[in-house]
Amino acid sequence: MSDLCPVSTVAHSDSREVEGRAGESVTLTCKYDAKNGRLSACWNRGDVPLRGGCNNQIISTDGQTVTRVSSRYQLLGRLDEGDVSMTILNLTETDAGRYGCRVDIPGWFNDEKHHFDLTVDSGETLFK
């Protein structure tokens, strides 16, 4: 499966499992083909709603400016190349769960939606 989310004429949704370790960072990959210009995108905690936007938004971009609820959420990729991958810094066990990325593609029912199920290892090692 390619990490590139091509601009298409039908809605697209997929899901991936991602593992992270407490205290470290993890990146959830979401990209689109930017040959037709920059697009808006948002990241959601939980499932991305069927209709536009993100209902539990944690970070978003209009293609140039980034808005976030916490500095722990970052869009470190090249927005001008369609890379809206989200990095979560300093993971904690409470970060575990479902995340969704929505890329707003012009037209009816064209948005790209990608879901990630994040598990976070506590980082504790048990010795016997």
- The pLDDT, as a whole number, for residue 6 is 35
Is a pLDDT exceeding 60 seen at residue 99? yes
Task: Name the pLDDT band for 125 (thresholds 50, 70, 90).
Answer: low
The mean pLDDT of 83-101, rounded to a whole number, is 96
For residue 11, the model assigns a pLDDT of 35
**pTM for the whole thing?**
0.82
Query: For residue 7, what are the contacts with CB-CB under 8 A and spacing of at least 6?
Result: 32, 33, 36, 105, 110, 112
Rg (CA), the chain: 15
Nearest-angstrom CA–CA distance, 94 and 49: 22
- Is-contact 19 92, C-beta < 8 A? no
Domain residue ranges in the chain: 15-121
pLDDT digits (tens, 9 = 90+) for 5-39: 333 323 334 678 999 999 999 999 999 999 889 99
Q: Does 112 or 126 have the greater pLDDT score?
A: 112
Q: Which fold has domain 15-121?
A: Immunoglobulin-like (2.60.40)
pLDDT score for 127: 55
Q: What's the rounded mean pLDDT across residues 34-48?
A: 92
Confidence band for 51, pLDDT divided at 50, 70 and 90: confident
